[in-house]
């Protein structure tokens, strides 16, 4: 009997506008949760990582970040998988540079590992690294020096094969 009395006093409060508002809030809450989940899934593939290194050879000097590196044999690796930083190490000399990067994607997996450069006038800048068999890659974040060089002349791009 007490349950029927309680139901009679609570039911009018949930009728009409209150019931409509409660339904709207439930629907909006579910929608926000779904959108958040989908957003999280769409960003996850952009967490590009180089779990192995990529070796390449250049016949020209180039900039990696703010460091100018001579022609030679290099290895690109990601020393800390939790950070978007690359290490470009000269295999023949004790030289290396660290470069910030942004993950990038391709619709098709790369057929081979490669390292590409942007050329402004006579100066080359590390641009992208692609990993064989993967749809992800990395793009070196441009520095102020590269932005100034890009503004001064037209860009050209070329690639060094990686292993």
- Which distant-in-sequence residues (6+ apart) come within 8 Å of 69 by Cβ? 61, 62, 63, 88, 90, 95, 97
What integer pLDDT is reported at residue 159 of this predicted model? 63
Distance (Å, whole) CA 134 – CA 111: 8
Write down the pLDDT at residue 158. 60
| Averages of pLDDT over each 10 residues, the chain, 163 residues | 50 59 66 52 46 87 93 91 87 90 91 92 92 90 90 68 62
Residue with tokens 């992208």, as numbered in its chain? 128
Question: Which tokens belong to 124?
Answer: 């080359």
End-to-end Cα separation, the chain, in angstroms: 80
Q: What is the pLDDT of residue 47?
A: 44
For 115, the token pair is 């390292």
Domain ranges for the chain: 2-45, 48-161
């Amino acid at each position: 009997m007490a349950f029927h009395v309680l139901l009679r006093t609570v039911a009018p409060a949930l009728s009409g506008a209150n019931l409509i508002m409660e339904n709207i809030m439930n629907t909006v809450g579910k929608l926000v949760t779904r959108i958040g989940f989908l957003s999280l899934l769409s960003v996850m593939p952009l967490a590009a990582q180089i779990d192995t290194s990529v070796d390449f050879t250049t016949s020209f000097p180039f900039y990696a970040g703010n460091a100018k590196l001579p022609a030679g044999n290099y290895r690109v690796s990601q020393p800390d998988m939790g950070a978007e930083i690359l290490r470009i190490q000269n295999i023949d000399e004790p030289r290396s540079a660290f470069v910030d990067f942004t993950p990038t994607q391709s619709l098709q997996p790369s057929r081979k590992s490669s390292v590409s450069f942007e050329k402004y006038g006579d100066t080359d800048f590390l641009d992208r690294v692609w990993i064989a068999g993967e749809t992800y890659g990395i793009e070196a974040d441009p520095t102020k020096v590269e932005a100034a060089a890009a503004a001064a002349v037209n860009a050209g791009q070329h690639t060094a094969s990686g292993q």
